[in-house]
């Protein structure tokens, strides 16, 4: 990404170090190399070469803003993301995932209490948010979604991989036939209604292993740090205590939303129950690692845009 990465780059944690996306290149720094002292909370990055190392130093938090093209609820409508210099960036690739201390950035695609099926266009340059279509027509859910919904940046559910923790969930056996959307989904349960393109700091609380036509589609349950009850919830039991019935309502919503279109109900692995916070963090780290392999072109990208 020549224009976007000139002013910003992306951080993601890897198993034994930090993977950077910077000036269109991906560089890996072992953990023992010291970066900026406030790296965990930094978003802005400046990049330079030092001897034989390709390094990126964290600066102050960069600001992202959105730019709308076209009219909402039209085929041409797009929500692009811009960095502090006004250059287009990808909400999937260039917004950092990790904020440190088990906190993550969350990109809102669908605000709560709306039904337009918005999603990051993973096959278009700079992966803007658009409304999904089917046979040339805009898609809507049969009823409103009751929570803010979107994605974790810098994650990817590799369709060629199965998951040993979830019975009955298979990957796509053709690694070149990717669906257009495989970033990890987030259901944010806070009380405030966000806007399309908002970037919220969230705390994962649980994970649902939805199985959609035989393929695994994780749903991470999280809460915005700005929610008044955020400090009270840290695990599945806390959600039940402070948001009673919410986990069941989320599972039932995603189980049933395709039924009005004549499709069967979705199923869930892991005993049809939400997994705990530790499991959710495991899912995030594994899918972040898959994204890193995609960006480094260790796996085929198919029609996915890496810009």
For residue 239, give every residue at least 6 positions away whose Cβ sits within 8 Å of its Cβ, in sequence order, or none. 189, 205, 206, 221, 233, 246, 247
**Token pair belonging to 67:** 């730019």
CB 77 within 8 Å of CB 70: yes
Q: How far apart are CA 111 and CA 172, in angstroms?
A: 30
What is the rounded distance in angstroms from the CA atom of residue 127 to the CA atom of residue 307?
8
**Extended beta strands in 159-285, E state:** 185-188, 199-212, 215-224, 267-268
- CA–CA separation, 60 and 43 (whole Å): 7
Contact at 8 Å (CB) between 189 and 246?
yes
Cα–Cα distance for residue pair 121/78, rounded to 1 Å = 9
What gap in Å lies between CA 170 and CA 196, rounded to an integer? Answer: 31
Whether 141 is catalytic: yes
Q: Which of 141, 143, 149, 182 is catalytic?
A: 141
Residues that are catalytic: 141
């Amino acid at each position: 990404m020549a224009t976007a990465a000139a002013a910003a780059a992306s951080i993601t944690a890897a198993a034994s170090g930090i993977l950077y996306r910077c000036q269109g290149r991906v560089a890996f720094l072992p953990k023992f190399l010291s970066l900026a002292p406030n790296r965990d909370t930094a978003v802005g990055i400046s990049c330079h070469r030092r001897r034989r190392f390709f390094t990126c130093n964290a600066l102050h938090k960069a600001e992202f803003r959105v730019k709308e093209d076209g009219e909402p609820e039209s085929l041409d409508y797009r929500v692009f993301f811009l960095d502090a210099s006004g250059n287009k960036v990808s909400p999937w690739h260039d917004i950092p995932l990790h904020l440190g201390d088990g906190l993550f950035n969350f990109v809102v695609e669908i605000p709560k209490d709306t039904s337009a099926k918005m999603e990051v266009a993973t096959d278009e340059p700079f992966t803007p948010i658009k409304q999904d279509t089917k046979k040339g027509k805009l898609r809507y859910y049969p009823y409103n979604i009751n929570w803010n919904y979107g994605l974790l940046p810098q994650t990817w559910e590799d369709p060629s991989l199965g998951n040993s923790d979830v019975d009955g969930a298979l990957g796509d056996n053709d690694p070149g036939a990717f669906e257009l959307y495989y970033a990890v989904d987030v259901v944010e349960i806070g009380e405030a209604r966000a806007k399309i393109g908002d970037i919220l700091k969230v705390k994962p609380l649980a994970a649902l292993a939805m199985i959609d036509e035989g393929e695994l589609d994780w749903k991470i349950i999280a809460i915005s740090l700005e929610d008044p009850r955020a400090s009270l919830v840290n695990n599945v039991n806390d959600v039940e205590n402070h948001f009673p019935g919410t986990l069941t309502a989320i599972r039932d919503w995603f189980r049933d939303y395709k039924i009005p279109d004549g499709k069967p109900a979705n199923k869930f692995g892991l005993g049809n129950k939400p997994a705990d916070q530790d499991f959710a963090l495991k899912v995030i780290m594994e899918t972040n690692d898959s994204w890193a392999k995609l960006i480094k072109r260790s796996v085929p990208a198919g029609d996915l845009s890496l810009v």
